[in-house]
Amino acid sequence: MQKTKIAPSLLAADFGNLQRDVELVNRSAADWHHIDIMDGVFVPNISYGMPVLKAISEHATKPLDVHLMIVDPDRYIETFADLGAHVLTVHYEACTHLHRTVQAIKAAGMQAGVALNPHTPVSLLADIIQDLDLVLIMSVNPGFGGQSFIANTYDKIKALKQMMLEKNANCLIEVDGGVNAKNAKALVAAGANVLVAGSFVFKSKDPMATIKSLKD
């Protein structure tokens, strides 16, 4: 079995020292850089946009895992491909024509991910799961770092695993929000392949060691 991927979320980095924190992730045991793009409409917060992502991509040496928390993501698919996104994840709740959006992401040369808010059941992905490279299960309500993990996430991961089995689908299961040393093991046991962690990594005394401990 493939080892669990760790994707530190730069939302919790020190923006005054962004290059330093990107380089820390480069040197760490992490697999991806998780980039949270928020528009203040889909979620009640604004994070950072393209110029900052461009600066990040100039220093990052690992794949960019871009999580769009924006309405109408179709408008920016080409832009994120040009900025070097490896995985582009859109929210189920933000896409009226999700199948079209997923095809456009793949046509632009990226892996396609779909994120589900805590209230959105995984069963809604039944007719598109075979087209996806990744499903991101939000374990907090999107918009902010540092929130508490929602325990129902375990059941959602298990339901998703079951659906993938029935549909003969093969995609990564990523969990995002409130991930820490207390829940990481159980998330992996439930079937998670990618763990996103923001505060737990960057607010810790030794982020490198924290990433390593999550990886192990």
Give the active site residues.
Answer: 36, 176
Judged by CB under 5 A, the stretch of 38-46, 64-72, 101-109, 149-157 that binds Zn ion is 64-72
Instruction: Give the x-and-dash track for 6-45 against Zn ion (CB under 5 A).
Output: ------------------------------x---------
Is residue 67 near Zn ion by the rule CB under 5 A? Answer: yes
Of 28, 89, 153, 199, which lies in the binding site for ligand DX5, with binding defined by CB under 6 A? 199
The secondary structure of 130-159 as a DSSP string is GG-SEEEEESS-TT-SSPPPPTTHHHHHHH
Report the residue number, 66 or 132, with the smaller CB distance to ligand DX5: 66
Report the residue number, 9 or 193, with the smaller CB distance to ligand DX5: 9
**How many CB atoms sit inside 10 A of residue 136's CB?**
27
167's enclosing H/E stretch is helix 153-167
Burial of 212 (0-12, 13-18, 19+ CB in 10 A): middle
Instruction: Give the x-and-dash track for 5-44 against ligand DX5 (CB under 6 A).
Output: ----x-xx---------------------x-x--------
| Sequence-ordered list of residues with C-beta below 8 angstroms from that of 181, at least 6 positions apart, any chain | 200, 213, 214
Please say whether the dihedral angle defined by the alpha carbons of residues 209, 69, 88 and 119, taken in this order, is positive or negative.
positive
214 binds, among Zn ion, ligand DX5, none (CB under 5 to 8 A by kind): none
Residue carrying structure tokens 């998703």: 160
Collapsing DSSP to helix, strand or coil, 193 comes out as coil
Of 73, 113, 198, 207, which lies in the binding site for ligand DX5, with binding defined by CB under 6 A? 198
- The distance of closest approach from Cβ of residue 172 to ligand DX5 in the complex, given in angstroms and rounded to an integer, is 15
Report the residue number, 100 or 203, with the smaller CB distance to ligand DX5: 203
Burial of 147 (0-12, 13-18, 19+ CB in 10 A): middle
Report the residue number, 97 or 119, with the smaller CB distance to ligand DX5: 119
Size of the site for ligand DX5 (CB under 6 A): 21
* Backbone conformation region of residue 160, classed left if phi is above 0, alpha if psi is from -120 to 50, else beta: alpha
- The distance of closest approach from Cβ of residue 166 to ligand DX5 in the complex, given in angstroms and rounded to an integer, is 28
